[in-house]
Structure 1
């Protein structure tokens, strides 16, 4: 990806606000961020679904996939300043929240209503992840070979509980092999 591919499409302050919002609402798995990336950046035409997939792929092979994806997208939109702004913005809410909530964690854990709220948030997050997975699948699964690679990875993950990094590496090699024989 080229730095600032969509430079000028979004300023640093709006970019900061997009990732600050994502940092405030991402709960549990970072894959929930995909729904927000689509709504705030793909739908308005600032980046493409393919670039979101690229950001997620890059994030999966590095520590801190959510932060890496944010940094990658910030870089696409505004170069190095955008990468810094997106990274700080997505990290800031968690950092502040941990500092504020730490003293009351025992009470939160013991509260039935707060536990129910968290259960609802988790269920909604699963729904968001399923919807975005479907949307991104339409972009990524473009032929029989990519569908087969995805299916094999899913079966291996569910049956063998392989480390996702191994699955990603295997998928990369399978994609390369499929390209070399002309299947992709």
Structure 2
């Protein structure tokens, strides 16, 4: 029955999270690491890193966690649990979007949601930083990565690969 708890956790976080994949990270961490103890914090951060190397990073992260904890069926179920909420929401929203897109309540709601999403993303950065920034080289890699993404058009894929190569050379 643990696998059903896991699949439900992935499903409901995907169902109720607005703002995209990275907003889910602190919620997933709270459930997977802190509440159920299915992974350690380091394993969770490793799953994020593995996901970043592939298309669909949060799906891959969930599949990795599902496989690590529950094997093949955990992985397959995690993928379904990741996409099913989006399918449900898009089906419902697309039916009513044109009718309500200019409603004040919709626009006002998003005025409150946007800063909350920023707060969640900041929480992700702080949480990952505590575990990942262990010495001066890791801090410099993080600072360089931030600078490249914020101020240039560097591809995140090349950034992750470059950071991996740097890590292999340094450590």
When normalised by structure 2's length, the TM-score is: 0.93
Q: Does 1:33 align with 2:24?
A: yes
Contact 1:58 / 1:69 at 8 angstroms: preserved in 2? yes
> Displacement, 1:28?
2.5
Q: In the TM superposition, what whole-angstrom CA distance separates every residue of 1:44-81 from its partner, at most 9, and x where no partner exists?
A: 32212222222211222211112111111111110111
- Cα RMSD for the two superposed structures: 1.4
Q: 1:28, 1:108 → 2: CA distance?
A: 19
Of 3, 6, 28, the match for 1:15:
6
Q: 1:173, 1:63 → 2: CA distance?
A: 19
**What is the number of residues matched between the two proteins?**
170
User: 3-state DSSP class of the match of 1:28?
Assistant: coil
Unpaired segments of 5 or more residues in structure 1? 1-9, 180-184
Contact 1:71 / 1:87 at 8 angstroms: preserved in 2? yes
Q: 2:85, 2:63 → 1: CA distance?
A: 16
Q: 1:126, 1:142 → 2: CA distance?
A: 25
Of 127, 136, 143, the match for 1:144:
136
Bigger share in helix: 2
Q: Does 1:133 align with 2:125?
A: yes
Q: 1:165, 1:100 → 2: CA distance?
A: 33
Q: Does 1:24 align with 2:18?
A: no
Q: In the TM superposition, what whole-angstrom CA distance separates every residue of 1:105-158 from its partner, at most 9, and x where no partner exists?
A: 113321121112123222212111111210111101111110111111111111
Unpaired segments of 5 or more residues in structure 2? none
Contact 1:32 / 1:128 at 8 angstroms: preserved in 2? yes
Q: Does 1:175 align with 2:144?
A: no
| Correspondences of 1:149-160 after superposition (within 5 Å) | 149-160=141-152
User: 3-state DSSP class of the match of 1:110?
Assistant: coil
When normalised by structure 1's length, the TM-score is: 0.87
